[in-house]
Amino acid sequence: MEPELAPGLQGTASPRPGVMYRALRIAWRWCAALLGAHLELEGAEHLPRTASGRRAGGWIAAVVPHRTWIDPFVPWILLPERPRFIFFGDARTMARSPLRRFLLRRLGGVIPIPAARDPRTVEVHLEAARQALAAGGVFMLMPETGPASKPGELRRLGGGMAYVALRNRAPIVPLVLGGNDELYFGRRVILRVLPALDPWALAGLADGEAAPEPGSSAERRAAHALTAAFAERVAADVADVHQGSLPPPGARRRGRFLTTLFR
């Protein structure tokens, strides 16, 4: 049986980047430079801010589309280090090697998703996400699930993002990636930040309306409505960013083994 990290928040929920967080962020910047990756950030003005103009936390970073291992590292490198990300991801992928387990235990701020579909862990995940948002961190997840789709198109979206957003009334900031479907030396990868989305508006709830009762049919309807509205809002940008990241005709694609390097 493959090792995996236990469910629940690993480490503490904090918006402050620790020493390991900063060190790994610098290391991945060096890796990107060695690979000749051209990382481009668009829409940084849409990142949430407080009334005084400082970078705000307490929001959901929804990264789409999820294609390869590079996806969480691009926003980690390109976006400000504070408030820090709290990462939500696959428990087996996080624990696949002794080195990963060593680094992640010291990095902290990760919420592993166990491979087994155990309903009892759902509330554990939701509570961990609540802690991350309440502390002022940025809760990063990749909401897609199911089989692969064509480049430039979204896969089916899971409901986790919707439940976290509804139970915490946390704004959702779409982070749209392009150029992450196939990796090679010198690849152009674009990250586009879209304006924050209000979960109440996405779910069709009236401003001032109380949150649906957790676990109720009303909450499930609101979550489905939110997920569908989110997909509709980001679809055009997913196609546009993918198109903008395509290499010119005839460009060499040396090192395509990078696509599956860290599976």
Confidence (pLDDT) at 188: 95
Which whole-number Å values give the CA distances from 258 to 75, 186, 251, in the listed order? 19, 11, 17
Confidence (pLDDT) at 110: 81
Q: CA 7 to CA 128: how far, in whole Å?
A: 9
Confidence (pLDDT) at 38: 93
Confidence (pLDDT) at 124: 85
Question: What is the CATH architecture of 19-260?
Answer: 3-Layer(aba) Sandwich (3.40)
Which whole-number Å values give the CA distances from 244 to 56, 180, 240, 241, in the listed order? 29, 12, 6, 5
Q: CA 221 to CA 211: how far, in whole Å?
A: 12
Closest C-alpha to 40, from 81, 80, 75, 66:
75
Residues 142-164 have pLDDT tens digits of 999 988 889 999 999 999 999 99
- Regions in the chain scoring below 70 on pLDDT: 1-3, 95, 115-116, 263
Confidence (pLDDT) at 171: 97
Query: Is residue 112 within a helix (H) or strand (E), and if so which, with residue range?
Result: strand 110-113
Q: List CB contacts of 46: < 8 A, sequence separation 6 or more.
A: 173, 193, 194, 195, 196
Confidence (pLDDT) at 191: 98
Q: List CB contacts of 97: < 8 A, sequence separation 6 or more.
A: none
CB 21 within 8 A of CB 84: yes
DSSP-derived secondary structure letter, 97: S
Confidence (pLDDT) at 88: 84
Q: Which two tokens stand for residue 200?
A: 């109440």
End-to-end CA distance of the chain: give it in Å, rounded.
Answer: 17
Confidence (pLDDT) at 7: 76
Confidence (pLDDT) at 92: 74
Query: Is residue 60 within a helix (H) or strand (E), and if so which, with residue range?
Result: strand 60-64
Confidence (pLDDT) at 263: 66
Beta bridge partners of residue 66, listed in sequence order: none
Q: CA 171 to CA 23: how far, in whole Å?
A: 29
Confidence (pLDDT) at 1: 62
Confidence (pLDDT) at 260: 87
Bin 227: left if φ > 0, else alpha if -120 < ψ < 50, else beta.
alpha
Domain boundaries, the chain: 19-260
CB 126 within 8 A of CB 163: yes
CB 205 within 8 A of CB 222: yes
Q: CA 24 to CA 5: how far, in whole Å?
A: 19
Confidence (pLDDT) at 121: 80
